[in-house]
Structures are given as structure tokens and as C-alpha cells.
């Protein structure tokens, strides 16, 4: 029996767990993910690899062709849904007011293509999104002005206010992982019917997991608690003769998806070069932490719960430790001591 995402959304609506307008937004995002999955799959054939030639994005990163295409796809489907008031993309300098809104005014934040530096090598990439409550105090009319940036910051408060969050992993199969605040569900794209179908019902991250996913090339730039933590994972005598295993793809969605299913910890700490790490609070850390907590895991900066952080700017960066609850707590213990 095929249990499609659209059927699942209708079921959740009947149960009163979301309204029809939020279901429309999520359905529109799933359509964007299908389009991006097709573009990723044909990138080598359709000359979509390499840099776009548009220079650097707001993050100071050189945009790949698929970054630009994925961002356009997300923006277009969210505008056409008629249910979004403001959309904010990691690829854009500022949030964008949606003039085509009929109702809803949901706030959608997204990273259209995370890990795109891997795309030319055919390694897993993904999209991340978060949806916030509509705001009657933040309806932008007329031309865009600077007030919109403070507006989106006020609306996208702490991650604990998220209504829904999810990601889509583009890999050997394309997996759409979603939470609406009542557990985590995984849907796999069936190429024969063109639908995301339920394959992972109520995902639970293992409480412990002996896999760590850090970029150890930055070891010498880390602070002493993080170095001590990493050294402890490699000490066989602490773990019954078998130290932790290292697995690092360099794509947040890919590394997190493995951590969600197998347990362990993904980390991108701050360092001497990037004091707050490189991951964005609104587009990456908050949505992923919301998913982790809904699956029984945790998301932390090492000293603070990610979902409690009040954003002070749209592209704010924070350190991120995410995964199995006990593994994240073990990392935090090095800062408490």
C-alpha cells in the first residue's frame, strides 16, 4: 500500500494537527524538492555543474549553477502557493515579501541546496526549510525597504516557535523528512508514480551512537573543550577497547540524515577563524534542531539549546552539535567542567 505525502497531509489535517493552508505550503515545498531532485540527477548531463558566474552570495561563498536554480525553484513554488507572506533564503541578501499571497502569510526560511560544493562529485546534497507562524504585524506592502529585515528577525523568533521543519536528501534515493511538531516522518520519492511515499514512520534517533561527524581538519583551530572532547572519543580505554568511528561527508543534510537513523553526533563548532562556526541559525541550525528534538535527540551550541536562541540578524551563524541526546550532553559536559 502506497501512503503518499499528500494523503498523509490530508490525514493530519483531519486530525487537527495542521490546517489546509500550512498543508499547501508543505505540499509546495515537496514539489520544489521533486524539481531540484530532477535537476541534481541530470546535472552532469545538462551542464549544471560548476560555478554560476554570478559571483559570491551573501555568505561570501561562490554560487554553483544549481544553487541559483534551486533558489529560483523554491522562490517560485512558494510564491505560487499563495500562502506565504515572507520568504527568506540563505542565498539572498535580504528576505522577500510575497505579493501573490491570497491568505496564510506563513514565514518560510530555507537553504535551497546545502552542500553544493559536493555536487560536481555526485555526493549527497539536500534542501532545508522551516515554517513559522503567520504574523499580522509583519505584512509588507509596496516596495521592499530595510524595515523588512528587522521584521523577519522579529517574526522568525527562536526555533522553538517553528510550526514545521524538514529537509530533502538528494542521494541514491530522494528522501523528504518532515516534522509538524508531532514526531518525525520520512517519505521517499517513488520515481514510478512521482510521489513521496511514507517509508519512515515516527523516526527515533538512538539515544547513543558511537559515530562522530566533525571536520577534523579544523582541530588546531578549536578551543580546548572541543579538543578534549575529540581526544576522548578516540581513547579506546574509555569505550571498552573500541573508540568512536568518524564519518564526514561535508553536507549537513547527508551527515545529519545518517546521524538521525544510526545515532551519534554531528558537530560544527566555532573556531579561531569562525568564532560562531559556519552554519546559519535560521536556515540550518534551528530547523535541524527542531527535527532532532522531535525525534528524541538534541541540538546545542555546546553551551545553549539551539531552539532557545533569539536571532539578532537574518544570516546569524551559531555553533551546532546535533544528534543523539546523550552524545550531545557528553559534548556539553566538557564546557561545564
Q: Please state, in angstroms and rounded to a whole number, the distance separating the CA atoms of residues 240 and 197.
A: 41
Give whole-number Cα distances, 253 to 220, 268, 284, in Å: 25, 13, 9
Q: Is residue 329 a contact partner of residue 175, using CB atoms and an 8 Å limit?
A: no
> Any bridge partners for residue 165, and if so which?
130, 179
Q: Please state, in angstroms and rounded to a whole number, the distance separating the CA atoms of residues 280 and 277.
A: 9
Q: Please state, in angstroms and rounded to a whole number, the distance separating the CA atoms of residues 239 and 276.
A: 30
Q: Choose among 214, 258, 245, 230: nearest CA to 123.
A: 258
The confidence score (pLDDT) of residue 171 equals: 92
Q: Please state, in angstroms and rounded to a whole number, the distance separating the CA atoms of residues 40 and 75.
A: 17
**At 207, is the secondary structure helix, strand, or coil?**
coil
Confidence of residue 86 (pLDDT cuts 50, 70, 90): confident
The confidence score (pLDDT) of residue 277 equals: 94
Among the ranges given (145-149, 254-258, 319-323), the one the predictor scored with the smallest mean pLDDT: 145-149
User: Which of 2 and 141 is assigned the larger pLDDT?
Assistant: 2
Among the ranges given (37-41, 79-83, 98-102, 307-311), the one the predictor scored with the smallest mean pLDDT: 98-102
Q: pTM value?
A: 0.91
Q: Please state, in angstroms and rounded to a whole number, the distance separating the CA atoms of residues 135 and 121.
A: 41
The confidence score (pLDDT) of residue 186 equals: 98
- Write out the H or E segment, with its range, that includes residue 225: helix 224-233
* pLDDT, average across residues 240-267: 96
Q: How many CB atoms lie within 10 A of CB 238?
A: 12
Q: Please state, in angstroms and rounded to a whole number, the distance separating the CA atoms of residues 91 and 181.
A: 27
Helices then strands, each counted (H, E), the chain: 8, 15
Q: Choose among 136, 152, 23: nearest CA to 97.
A: 152
The confidence score (pLDDT) of residue 147 equals: 53
SS3 track for 91-160: CCCCCEECCCCCCCCEEEEEEEEECHHHHHHCCCEEEEEEEECCCCCCCCCCCCCCHHHHHHHHHCCCHH
C-alpha cell read off for 174: 530522494
Among the ranges given (18-27, 80-89, 233-242, 305-314), the one the predictor scored with the smallest mean pLDDT: 80-89
Q: Which residues contact 317 (CB under 8 A, 6 or more apart)?
A: 274, 276, 277, 278, 279, 280, 281
Q: Please state, in angstroms and rounded to a whole number, the distance separating the CA atoms of residues 158 and 154.
A: 9
Q: Please state, in angstroms and rounded to a whole number, the distance separating the CA atoms of residues 312 and 265.
A: 27
The confidence score (pLDDT) of residue 65 equals: 81
The confidence score (pLDDT) of residue 52 equals: 47
Query: Looking at the predicted structure, is the pLDDT value of residue 4 above 80?
Result: yes
* pLDDT, average across residues 37-63: 64
**How large a percentage of the chain has pLDDT more than 70?**
83
Amino acid at each position: 500500500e502506497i501512503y503518499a505525502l499528500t494523503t498523509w497531509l490530508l490525514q493530519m489535517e483531519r486530525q487537527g494537527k495542521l490546517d489546509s493552508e500550512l498543508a499547501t505550503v508543505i505540499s509546495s515545498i515537496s514539489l520544489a524538492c521533486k524539481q531540484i531532485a530532477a535537476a541534481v540527477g541530470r546535472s552532469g548531463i545538462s551542464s549544471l555543474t560548476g560555478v554560476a558566474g554570478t559571483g559570491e552570495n551573501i555568505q561570501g561563498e561562490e554560487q554553483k549553477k544549481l544553487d541559483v536554480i534551486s533558489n529560483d525553484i523554491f522562490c517560485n513554488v512558494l510564491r505560487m502557493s499563495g500562502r506565504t507572506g515572507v520568504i527568506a533564503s540563505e542565498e539572498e541578501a535580504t528576505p522577500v515579501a510575497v505579493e501573490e499571497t491570497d491568505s496564510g502569510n506563513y514565514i518560510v526560511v530555507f537553504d535551497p541546496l546545502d552542500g553544493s560544493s559536493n555536487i560536481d562529485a555526485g555526493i549527497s546534497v539536500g534542501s532545508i526549510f522551516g515554517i513559522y507562524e503567520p504574523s499580522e504585524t509583519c505584512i509588507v506592502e509596496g516596495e521592499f525597504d530595510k524595515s523588512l529585515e528587522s521584521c523577519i528577525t522579529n517574526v522568525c523568533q527562536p526555533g522553538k516557535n517553528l510550526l514545521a521543519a524538514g529537509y530533502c536528501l538528494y542521494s541514491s534515493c530522494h528522501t523528504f523528512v518532515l516534522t509538524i511538531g508531532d514526531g518525525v516522518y520520512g517519505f521517499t520519492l517513488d520515481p514510478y508514480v512521482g510521489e513521496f511515499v511514507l517509508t519512515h514512520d515516527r523516526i527515533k534517533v538512538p539515544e547513543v551512537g558511537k559515530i562522530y561527524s566533525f571536520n577534523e581538519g579544523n582541530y588546531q583551530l578549536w578551543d580546548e573543550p572541543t579538543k578534549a572532547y575529540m581526544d576522548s572519543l578516540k581513547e579506546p580505554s574509555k569505550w571498552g577497547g573500541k573508540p568512536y568511528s568518524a564519518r564526514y561527508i561535508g553536507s549537513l543534510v547527508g551527515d545529519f540524515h545518517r546521524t538521525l537513523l544510526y545515532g551519534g553526533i554531528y558537530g560544527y563548532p566555532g573556531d579561531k577563524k569562525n568564532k560562531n562556526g559556519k552554519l546559519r541559525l535560521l536556515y540550518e541550525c534551528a530547523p535541524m534542531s527542531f527535527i532532532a528534538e522531535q525525534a528524541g535527540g538534541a541540538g546545542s551550541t555546546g553551551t545553549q539549546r539551539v531552539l532557545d536562541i533569539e536571532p539578532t540578524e537574518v544570516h546569524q551563524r551559531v555553533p551546532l552539535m546535533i544528534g543523539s541526546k546523550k552524545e550531545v550532553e557528553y559534548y556539553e559536559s566538557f564546557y561545564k567542567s
